Every structure is written in structure tokens, then in C-alpha cells.
Amino acid sequence: RWEAVPLAPPDSIFKLTAAYKADTHPNKVNLGVGAYRDDDSKPWVLPVVKKATEILLNDPTVDHEYLPITGLPEYTAAAARLVFGKDSSVIKDERVASVQTISGTGANHLGALFLSKFYGWNEKRIYVSDPTWVNHHAIFPQVGIPVSTYPYYDPQTIGLAFPAFLETLKTAPARSVFLLHACAHNPTGVDPTREQWGQIADAMLEKGHFAFFDSAYQGFASGDLENDAWAVREFARRSVPLLVCQSFAKNAGLYGERVGALHIVAPSKEGAARIKSQLSVLARAEISNPPAHGARLVSLILNSDELFEDWKRDIKTMAGRIIAMRKELHRLLTEELKTPGNWDHIVNQIGMFSFTGIGPAQSQALVEKAHIYLTSNGRISMAGLNSHNIRYFATQLDKAVRG
């Protein structure tokens, strides 16, 4: 019956993880994984999450009934305040339609589905950065939206290809949809400066473009939740039409709990209500109701001053360790090993990932000869580095670069 179904290739990241797991070499290092690891390469349950879990366990009112279709209201409201800021006019005027989603992926999907049905397209198409999170290339075509790319990363400078990016914003048809990473761009770790964000907003306002913000790393970039929401808040303040896909996978370490939200900003409170009613129809057909446990945890954290302070401390622990690894890797390469080339991008890039600038052949050599697992584009997850393996990695990278 299913003879015509072709075998699909395995997901490249998950394939890399499987190869790492099967490797028995004592010095093996996994730099592919997009999840935080502590200094002993272990997953980290945030202390604030343990505390919130304890509270939930002892709460006699918690049951396993369905949540509303659009999610736990105290969670979605607090999540919107977290990204836009509680004093934002979009929050005060109640112009945000917020719906709980299956983490950031579900938010991207629901946002894409909503746009595919209701956006006033000149041409149905989304522009994503070149490169971007690989799943963006799958999510939009799934709902019938073709994907085009805009220049983003310049391999020459290992930085932002800003003039070419701006040019695409200016030449794309009016009312185009641009996907922007709110902070800590995946996979490059290269973010626009505030001045550049300002120019991006200018160009988008001029052409009437729509900003599809993907925010999977708030707090993870700089260690500061407010700072990492700056671009979204600035665009909202300047009335660039936008939506935000929000994930608590990384910043709360709740990967498997699938806690996310989609926030669509409307011109009026009444418009937000209409949008929310349609999002509810779409969510009903897809998932009926979102999962409760993770949303309850995040709601407790966001709505309690004490837990919120604890969370900020935990975020600083994670972001701080990653920033320390960047500094140490940079020091080892430039001062100790005197590796050929400029390595300043290691400390200038932001968030969990870093584009090292090495090519596919060198990346492959690291995997095959050194048991260091990374994607062929030279991207490394800084979270995979720690005080025990960083010297080994730097030495092997140095070897690969020298050839």
C-alpha cells in the first residue's frame, strides 16, 4: 500500500547527535546540540524551575483538565509583557493577540498559518535570512508560503552583510513579510547593532513590510531579558506591523515541555480580538488545547516577584558561562596557540551559537579525526564547550585551520 512513500533523509542535527552518542572516544565533544549544558556537559534543570515544580506539586487546585484553546491566560498575558515590556503601549492598549503554542516551532507554524490565510499579500512569500534556522525552510512551505532569502551573513567579514540586507528590504515588493531573529541569530550569532535595527525599521516602514520576529533566545544573548527584547520593543514602539514567536525552551531550560506563545500586534483592541478569535479557530483544528504543565511553571515564574528574580539569576548563570567560554576560546586561539587568522568574531558574536568561519572540509576533519561533532557549516554551540574540553577543542581547531 505505501510502496510509493520515499525514505526521507534523517534530520542533520539529530543525526549528528546520534553519531556523537555512538562514538566511544574519551575526548569526544558535541558542539552540534542547540541546548544548554553545564560545565560537566550535563543538561541543567534551572533551580527556579525546580522551585516552581515544587509549588505545583503541593498545589491542591492543580488538576489535569483541558486548558482553554488559546492557552493559560495568566501565562500568555505575562509572556506578552515579558517580550513587549509592561509599559509598552501595545500592552496598555490591549492590542496584542496572544495564544499559547507548542514552543517556538508551534508559534512559527501558527504564525505562518495565520498569515497564509489572512495576510494581504502582494506576493505570497516570506523572506528569511541567509542562513537561518533550518526549520524555517520547512515550516513556511508546509502552509503554502514559498521562502526566499535575504543576504545576512558575510563570510568575508564573518559579520553582517548589512548593505545587501538593506538593499533587499528596499527592493522587495511592498508589504513583504520578513522573518527577523529577535536576538542571538541562529546559526551565525551575528546580530544587527541598535543603529542597524533602526535602519531596518526605517526601510520596513517605508515599504509597509511586516516583521515576523522569531524570539527563541530572550535573555540568552546578553544575560538580560530587557536588553534582548530591545529590537522587538523598538519596532513595536515605531509601529512596524509585527508578530512575535516566543519560546521558553532555552531561557527556561524547558525544551521538552514545549512552552511557547504567538503574539500578533493589531492596530486596535478590537482588531486584536478578531485576530485572536481566528487564531483560536486554527489552534482548535490543530491541537485543540495546548499542554498545561510547562505553561503553569512559566506562569508561576513570570507572575511572582521572587521567582522572577530567581529566574534572572539562572539566566545570568547560563549566559555568563557561555560568554566566559567565548572569552576563553578567543584567548586560547589568539594568545596561546597563535592560530592563523582573526578570531574576534568568537567574542563579538552573541548567544548559544558561533560561526567559526571554518569550511566544510575542516569541519569534517574535526568530526572524523578529532571526535568533535559540529555541523558542516562550521557552526558550534558554545554550550557544548566547558572548562574540561575547551583546550582540546582549541588545539584541534588550530590543527584543522593549519591544515
- Catalytic-residue membership of 197: no
- The answer to whether 250 is a known catalytic residue is yes
3-state secondary structure the chain: CCCCCCCCCCCHHHHHHHHHHHCCCCCCEECCCCCCCCCCCCCCCCHHHHHHHHHHHCCCCCCCCCCCCCCCHHHHHHHHHHHHCCCCHHHHCCCEEEEEEEHHHHHHHHHHHHHHHHCCCCCCCEEEEECCCCCHHHHHHHCCCCEEEEECEECCCCEECHHHHHHHHHHCCCCCEEEEECCCCCCCCCCCCHHHHHHHHHHHHHHCCEEEEEECCCCCCCCCHHHHCHHHHHHHHCCCCEEEEEECCCCCCCHHHCEEEEEEECCCHHHHHHHHHHHHHHHHHHCCCCCCHHHHHHHHHHHCHHHHHHHHHHHHHHHHHHHHHHHHHHHHHHHHCCCCCCCHHHHHCCCCEEECCCCHHHHHHHHHHHCEECCCCCEEEHHHCCCCCHHHHHHHHHHHHHC
Choosing from 133, 276, 310, 311, the catalytic residue is: 133
Q: Please say if 44 is a catalytic residue.
A: no
| Residue nearer to ligand PMP on the CB measure, 223 or 260 | 260
Among 71, 131, 219, 260, binds ligand PMP (CB under 6 A): 260
- From residue 109 to residue 148, the character string flagging contacts with ligand PMP as x (rule: CB under 6 A) and all else as - is ------------------------x---------------
Q: Which of 88, 186, 218, 363 binds ligand PMP (CB under 6 A)?
A: 186
**What residues numbered 374-403 form the site for ligand PMP, per CB under 6 A?**
none
Applying CB under 6 A, the span of 99-107, 118-126, 290-298, 366-374 interacting with ligand PMP comes to 99-107
Q: Is 105 in the site for ligand PMP (CB under 6 A)?
A: yes
- Taking CB under 6 A as the criterion, which residues in 15-44 touch ligand PMP? 34
Minimum CB–partner distance for residue 152 and ligand PMP (Å): 13
The nearer residue to ligand PMP, 100 or 247, going by C-beta atoms, is 247
Closest to ligand PMP by CB, 113 vs 400, is 113
Least CB distance to ligand PMP at residue 111 (A): 11
The CA distance from 23 to 309, in Å, is 40
51, 191, 214, 311: the active-site residue: 214
Q: How far is the CB of 197 from ligand PMP (least distance, A)?
A: 17
Binding to ligand PMP in span 187-246, by CB under 6 A:
214, 216
Residues 283-342 that bind ligand PMP (CB under 6 A): none
Q: How far is the CB of 251 from ligand PMP (least distance, A)?
A: 10
Query: All 3 cell numbers of residue 225?
Result: 531579558
Of 34 and 111, the one with the shorter C-beta distance to ligand PMP is: 34
- Residue 75, interface with ligand PMP (CB under 6 A)? no
Catalytic residue IDs: 133, 214, 250
* Residue ranges binding ligand PMP (CB under 6 A): 34, 103-105, 133, 181, 186, 214, 216, 247, 249, 255, 260
